[in-house]
Amino acid sequence: MHINALSDICGAEVVGFDCGSDFDDATFAAIREAFSDHSVLVFRDQHLTPEQHVAFSKRWGNINGHILTQYLVAGYPELLAVSNKKDDAGQPLGIEDAGRYWHTDVSYEAVPPMGSLLYGLEVPAEGGDTLFASQYRAYENIPADLKDRVASLKARHRFNYVQIQASEDSTRKPLTEEQKKQLVGAVHPVVRTHPETNRKALYVNPGFTESLIDVVENESRALLDTLFGYATDPAVIYRHTWQVRDLVFWDNRCLMHHATPYPADSIRHMHRTTVAGSVPV
């Protein structure tokens, strides 16, 4: 097994390692350390059954379901399909335009996931990269007075799926009334401390962060926009170009990510597991 850094911001590839194998604790400890150091691990050339993908994900914690049960892989409630493939009836098998904006997975829940493992079963020859932005770096780059200003602030997060789905060019399936009721949102600190590295990271994202608590609306908007500027500065971004059969494991506690478009006539077919996390503090 070799671990090679992919950039000096975040990201490392793991080669010569089979996530589906029966590896020992020392190997797992080395991988865990690399995950702490790099925040994104790219396991190359994986040949995993859905069961193996789920089993490897479970080494990191419990698996979360996803509110969008419309897009779970048939027979595998732990797997969310991110795909532009269609079934025989022409219905989308997965979310086609998942994450085409800066976000942190599921930050709209009270206990958001620690990480996500996305497995590229089919990837386009061109396009469909995933961008990762280090929110450690973003936080470090914020001037001292702004750090002081946001130190004790909290923000409201909400999944605006209903609006996304209702937009004219959306191919997304509607939510059930029950699902709509579950989308109550959550409040989290603007700056969180990573429970394993103890480093501070910015934890607001353009996708789901609506407003700052106890800050008047105009100032809330302006302050969030300023923070998003640091959060998405090109200097904190690693661009991941997929190879087929990459399993990419990212840390939602210190990263944002952003899917990029790809040609409509190519196939991009992926499965995601989501690993449970802890309440951000």
What does residue 40 show for φ and ψ, rounded to 5 degrees? -130, 125
Residue 220 or 273: which CB sits closer to ligand OGA? 273
Residue 96 or 105: which CB sits closer to Mn ion? 105
How far is it, in rounded angstroms, from Cα 127 to Cα 92? 20
For position 269 contacting ligand OGA by CB under 6 A, the verdict is no
Contact between 139 and 203 under an 8 Å Cβ cutoff? The reply is no
For position 105 contacting ligand OGA by CB under 6 A, the verdict is yes
Residue whose beta carbon is closest to ligand OGA: 99
Question: From residue 17 to residue 56, what is the string marking binding to Mn ion with x (rule CB under 5 A)?
Answer: ----------------------------------------
For position 280 contacting ligand OGA by CB under 6 A, the verdict is no
Contact between 272 and 77 under an 8 Å Cβ cutoff? The reply is no
| Shortest Å, Cβ 246 to ligand OGA | 11
Secondary structure string (H, E, C) spanning the chain: CEEEECCCCCCEEEECCCCCCCCCHHHHHHHHHHHHHHCEEEECCCCCCHHHHHHHHHCCCCECCCCCHHHEECCEEEEEEEECCECCCCCECCECCCCCCCECCCCCCCCCCCEEEEEEEECCCCCCCEEEEEHHHHHHHCCHHHHHHHCCCEEEECCCHHHHHHCCCCCCCCCCHHHHHHCCCEEEECEEECCCCCCEEECCCCCCEEEECCCCHHHHHHHHHHHHHHHCCHHHEEEECCCCCCEEEEECCCEEEEECCCCCCCCCEEEEEEECCCCCC
Q: Which amino acid is at 103?
A: H
Q: Which of residues 55-84 bind ligand OGA (CB under 6 A)?
A: 82
Residue whose beta carbon is closest to Mn ion: 99
Residue 53 or 257: which CB sits closer to ligand OGA? 257
Residue 118 interface partner, choices ligand OGA, Mn ion, none, CB cut-off 5-8 Å depending on type:
ligand OGA
For position 133 contacting ligand OGA by CB under 6 A, the verdict is no
Residue 105 or 251: which CB sits closer to Mn ion? 105
For position 116 contacting ligand OGA by CB under 6 A, the verdict is yes
Question: From residue 84 to residue 123, what is the string marking binding to Mn ion with x (rule CB under 5 A)?
Answer: ---------------x-----x------------------
For position 124 contacting Mn ion by CB under 5 A, the verdict is no
| Shortest Å, Cβ 105 to Mn ion | 4
Residue 272 interface partner, choices ligand OGA, Mn ion, none, CB cut-off 5-8 Å depending on type:
ligand OGA
For position 123 contacting ligand OGA by CB under 6 A, the verdict is no
The binding site for ligand OGA (CB under 6 A) comprises 82, 98-99, 105, 116, 118, 130, 257, 259, 272
